[in-house]
Copies of this chain bind each other. A is one copy, B any other.
């Protein structure tokens, strides 16, 4: 670990400047899913390019048909790694539920310590900056870096990553490394860092049901006219059976039971389903019958409804029969489930339920399968030891319920495995109003990357 202590000391001494840089990044409203924010996404990419060049990377903005990528290289001896993060963020609505402007970050003192509150503070700007700041500190002390590092920042992670696979294919040689480091996951709890060893995939679909060629008066047409909301609710209600299982034919093909060894490890985590659900006002697991909450999140696929709209939704009442109704539906996938086969089966099931005089259209919102990490690669135990040293406890291997499609793409397109290390906490409210990132996550996150890079170098 030669030279590590000095770097850690530099991290501690330069925290104010590091926070200033993070706040600058958080002020940029890089909402990728809404075309109105296109210029802001490009400006955010430019800001990161300048930041990385300032540290000594060779960085550039790489335009795509969507939002640009940022790619940077710092050639050095040592392990060959690619670091991935995303600079785009989720939409902020409903804006009225935020305590302040989501793009005007604020430091707040809380019982559990200071937090940085802003959209993207945790997902993923705060996280990606832990790695950037670790590099900056290392470079400041040693004039070089402890690894041969490529950085890839994406701007479409929250909108299905349409440009990512083409970009990986076009730049395969440039982006391939021995291992990808990805910082977009969480701690097991505020004291215990975690390396995530599995992720669920995500298939996103939008259903648009169209009936009459215009909105109708429910007095004049109610009865004989098709109502697209009624058609849509019948379809959505058919997607789960009474035990919570998804009814799409073949949906569970490729889903494997959790091994006894993995279950035994999960049992040691001290997970409390009561606490986990209680934090969000719930008390009973509502997923598939016969599975624990951890299994439901980490090892079982789902079908969820993320948005629905149709007709009049304002104050008061309007006796309208709408011409159209829409729903956004997503499937979390595990194991060897095939996203494209499931998309086909889902669409066929929906089409079969669309009656005469109605039509259905589908919009694609991403399709990626679940992934499992190669925990037998020694790098995983080296990183775990580095994390344990920084946080003063035993870092753990856990599953992940969310989707980080890039991990699957790295494997499929570049043959590259990923190691997922992140410092988010369960109560970070990612994707919700008042998102935050603990100052401690940011500070010790930077220090963690310093230690992990040193550990990989010394292996």
Contacts and interface: CB of A to CB of B under 8 A. Distances in A.
Interface of A: 32-35, 90-91, 93, 158-160, 200, 202, 204, 206, 211-227, 229-230, 232-234, 236-238, 240, 273, 276-277, 280-288, 293, 296-297, 300, 302, 304-322, 325-328, 330, 332, 355-357, 365-366, 400-403, 426, 429-433
A271 to B, nearest CB: 12
A160 B204 CA distance: 39
B224 A230 contact: no
Given A219-B400, A297-B220, A311-B328, A286 B318 contact: no
Among A223, A233, A273, A330, residue most surrounded by chain B Cβ atoms (within 10 Å): A223
A280 B221 contact: yes
Contacts of A365: 316-317
Given A304-B321, A401-B222, A212 B316 contact: no
B307 A214 contact: no
A311 B316 contact: no
A431 B223 contact: no
Contacts of A219: 200, 202, 332, 400-403
B320 A227 contact: no
Counting every copy of the chain, the complex holds: 2
Given A204-B317, A216-B431, A224-B276, 9 more contacts: A160-B316, A204-B319, A218-B330, A219-B402, A220-B430, A229-B308, A283-B356, A306-B322, A308-B325
B318 A306 contact: yes
B297 A306 contact: no
Given A230-B236, A326-B313, A282 B431 contact: no
